[in-house]
Amino acid sequence: MASVNLDPKQIDRPPARINNHSPFFSALRCLVALACTVVGSGMAAAQTPANGAKAPDFTLQTPTGKTVTLAKERAKGTTVLVVLRGFPGYQCPYCVKQVHDYVEHSADFAARKVNVVLVYPGPPADLDQHAKEFLATQADLPSNIKLVIDPEYKMTNLYGLRWDAPHETAYPSTFILNAGGTILFEKISREHGDRTTANEILAQLKMN
């Protein structure tokens, strides 16, 4: 068997030190930090605000480009915030029926100084045109009812209401807010129907 001759100097020599400050390790640390940030942001999804919490503010536009800010609307008095399914690829018949019901009771809302903000979410492409088509199925909206579009799911995600599934947009939801923005009532539907009616809203307003 061949013998192996080892140099005693090599045996006693300490192992080479790794330069943690080299460009390679600096880049590696940056990649790890970025990965942690992405994972962390994915885990910190927005939660739907509950009764008693303050409703997050947002600013969206009507289909014709007029800016509507929730804070300015609720400063006028009580606000009913309604999140529709918007345009999941077609005009939702449950949304049409719900909005028609609210428009028919607009005078009852006005008598109680209540404003209604309808949110119409959906894919960005031509969402304003789809919203105009949706409004064409209704009578003209009275001054105390406004419809805004949510083409980037900005408000939908802010309120934790994104229904992330094929041919879906948002969970149909209704909130009642006082002038300070506190949520007095909320209802989140996990199906297409089961909507809050105008009479249910009016009954809640009497209780609050």
The pTM score is 0.79
Predicted local confidence at residue 173, as pLDDT = 98
Contact indicator for 174, 81 with CB cutoff of 8 Å: yes
Spatial strand order in the sheet of 67-69: 67-69, 59-61, 145-150, 114-121, 78-83, 173-177, 183-188
User: Is it the case that residue 16 has pLDDT exceeding 70?
Assistant: no
What pLDDT does residue 75 have? 94
Distances in whole angstroms, Cα of residue 190 to Cα of each of 123, 168, 182: 20, 11, 23
Q: What is the pLDDT of residues 20-65, one digit of tens each?
A: 555 554 544 544 444 443 333 333 458 999 999 999 999 999 999 9
Return the pLDDT at 5: 54
pLDDT at residue 208, as a whole number? 78
Q: How does pLDDT run across 115-151, given as a tens digit for each residue?
A: 999 999 999 999 999 999 999 999 899 999 999 999 9
Where do the domains of the chain lie? Answer: 59-207
CA distance 19 to 37: 26
Looking at the predicted structure, is the pLDDT value of residue 9 above 90?
Answer: no
Q: What is the pLDDT of residue 22?
A: 54
CATH code given to domain 59-207? 3.40.30.10
- The pLDDT tens digits of the residues spanning 58-102 come to 999 999 999 999 999 999 999 999 999 999 999 999 999 999 999
Looking at per-residue pLDDT, the higher value among 31 and 196 belongs to: 196
